[in-house]
Amino acid sequence: MKKYKVAVVGATGVVGEMMRKVLEEKNLPVSEYTFFASNKSAGKKIIFMNKEYEVRELKENSFDEKFDFALFSAGGETSKRFSPIAVKNGCTVIDNSSAFRMDENVPLVVPEVNIEDAKMNNGIIANPNCSTIQAVVALKPLDDKYKIKRVVYSTYQAVSGAGKHGINDLQNGIENFNNENKYELEKFKYDIFNNCLPHIDVFLDNGYTKEEEKMINETRKILHRPDLRITATTVRVPVMNSHSESINIEFEDQFDEKELVETLRNSAGLIVQDDIKNEVYPIATKATGTDEVYVGRIRRDYSLDSGVNIWVVADNLRKGAASNAIQIMEYLMLD
């Protein structure tokens, strides 16, 4: 079997660290890993698969080494600058930023939903937004069976999705709440501890946030439903890790509730946790550390002719970022 050379760009960030963890868990046919980061993190020593590596600074000539794959998680500007260089040198880039997601020439891929799209790449494959990934894993089988007419997203997103500074803001809020010490916010405009902030990414002229627009547009692209009616409200909540989502779905076709639950239960990447008599439903602390998407609180929406409400939870750093990208790379390696 062929052995591949893999580069990890943004290896010291929150998602980069998770990529390293997931890669250690996999038995991929890789002969060599190389880790890149910004000048600030260059020279840092990391332990990976019981071996010490020195993190290299990402430069214009970094891809002269001819890598087979590069996992990018270093922000949109870095991806825009260095991904074309990597591709020019024969490398396939799987990018976790928003830089290429809506580029019509770049596939936007969730393996359980549209893995075949990954083959139709020109050197770059985009990893969707974390909140979109877990949503479409649940939506795809329902769209296939009942044809979705409209989606209403309401998200409850953990601070880990905002990176290390977001995590620090919550930790500082927890530590200083009882003693009422003042502390400087690193990421958010307002305290995230004890608050829910209906503001993720920047506000747009139409009143939506960029995060909300991402979910709308990315869902349409992944499901190949460009005219699908979708609206979204995305909220940052004082949870350390794993995003939760309330999704209201209106169908074109009628459905049987038991059949719908079985459809979800038999779908790839999904685990149904829906036993209200015993108060069993998906929660963030149980999803953290796993790669599955959890679905519960499945119930008919009686305000619609054919509608359902579902509650969807997943680890945003694993399935919502690192694991999804690595699944794509694994598929291309083993195909």
Amino acid identity at 66: K
Q: Which of 165, 196, 199, 243 is catalytic?
A: 243
Q: Which of 130, 196, 199, 224 is catalytic?
A: 130
Q: Which two tokens stand for residue 208?
A: 């939506």
Collapsed DSSP state (helix, strand, coil) of residue 230: strand
130 included as an active-site residue: yes
Asked whether 168 and 17 are in contact (CB, 8 A), the reply is no
Asked whether 264 and 298 are in contact (CB, 8 A), the reply is yes
243 included as an active-site residue: yes
d(CA 313, CA 331): 24
Of 183, 152, 155, 305, the C-alpha closest to 245 is 155
d(CA 58, CA 135): 33
Q: Which two tokens stand for residue 316?
A: 């945003």
d(CA 65, CA 330): 21
Which single residue is written with the structure tokens 């890669």? 23
Amino acid identity at 167: I
Amino acid identity at 78: T
Q: Which two tokens stand for residue 38?
A: 């910004």
Catalytic residues: 130, 243
